[in-house]
Amino acid sequence: MDPLFEQVISYALLPTVALTGGGLLALFIRFGVQARSAILHFAAGVVFSVVAVEILPDVVRLHDPWLTTLGFGAGIGLMLLIRQLTEAPVETLSRPRMPTAPAGRFPLAFLLAIGVDIFIDGLLLGVGFAAGAKEGVLLAFALGVEVLSLGLATATSLTNDGVARSRIIRLLLGLSVLFFVSAVGGATLLHNLPEAGLDIVLSFGLAALLFLVTEELLVEAHEGPEKPWLTATFFAGFLLFLILGIVA
């Protein structure tokens, strides 16, 4: 087996296990409103840091405004379309909205945004190993921290929406497989992708991740009582991945 494949497979297991483990932890430990808000804030900070530290510099380096606009526009357009198609219709005055969401509703837009994030993370890990063993190893640990918080946030959010535990476990396993496959793909296919294609892929992911942070994670994080220390967890998540990115 190619040494590059051995490294990718070995170290891709770390974020994969972290994602599944974080989600399972959230399933079997009941988090309160403030703990849930802290998890979502922290995950949002980490994802936003990934955008700033890992993706945005590459998009700027590729320096093609037309392709960047194409990829970014496609990403945000798709997420808004999904939101439009999956969002419940606005209730009229004659039919007042119920105070609680219907049990078992399936947040498709949220899950697709998480899926795009996981997919991009896997690609980044694969490309990191293609660039060098040291970069790949450090990035694996950094992404492990990110997907751990995402696993916690995903399972916590789905549980709050009334999704069945067995279904959440299947979704977590699916996301873990997606990360692993995209990491292997990043080390092979994306490493040899022309810069034009890479620009479109990264710009698309950039838009999807910004949507995930601003329209999903932070919106849900602010559903409960807001306190300064909860807001601080967003910046703690951002700083943590920023430091890991500097070390890597």
Predicted confidence (pLDDT) per residue in 71-125, tens digit: 999 989 988 887 787 665 444 334 344 344 444 566 787 888 888 888 888 887 8
Q: What pLDDT is attached to residue 102? A: 47
Q: What pLDDT is attached to residue 94? A: 41
Q: What does the alpha-carbon distance between residue 188 and residue 42 come to, in Å, rounded to a whole number?
A: 32
Predicted confidence (pLDDT) per residue in 145-161, tens digit: 788 888 988 998 888 88
Cβ pair 184, 5 in contact under 8 A: yes
Q: What pLDDT is attached to residue 132? A: 60
Per-residue pLDDT of the chain (248 residues; tens, 9 = 90+): 566 677 788 888 999 999 999 999 989 888 788 888 898 899 889 889 888 888 888 899 988 999 999 999 998 998 888 778 766 544 433 434 434 444 456 678 788 888 888 888 888 787 767 656 666 777 788 788 788 888 988 998 888 888 889 999 999 999 999 999 988 887 777 667 788 888 888 898 888 889 888 988 898 888 877 889 999 999 999 998 889 878 76
Interacting residues of 21 by C-beta distance below 8 A, sequence separation 6+ = 148, 151
Among 67, 69, 49, 47, residue whose Cα is nearest residue 198: 67
Cβ pair 190, 95 in contact under 8 A: no
Q: Which one-letter DSSP state was computed for residue 192?
A: G
Residue 98 neighbours by CB distance under 10 Å: 8
Tell me which amino acid residue 195 is: E
Write down the domain spans for the chain.
Answer: 3-87+106-247
CB-count burial class (<10 Å; 0-12, 13-18, 19+) for 187 = buried
What pTM value is reported for the model? 0.74
Give the DSSP letter string of 23-92: HHHHHHS---HHHHHHHHHHHHHHHHHHIIIIIHHHHHHH--HHHHHHHHHHHHHHHHHHHHHHSPPPPP
Q: What pLDDT is attached to residue 96? A: 42
Among 20, 49, 29, residue whose Cα is nearest residue 171: 20
Give the DSSP letter string of 129-165: HHH-HHHHHHHHHHHHHHHHHHHHHHHHHHHHTT--H
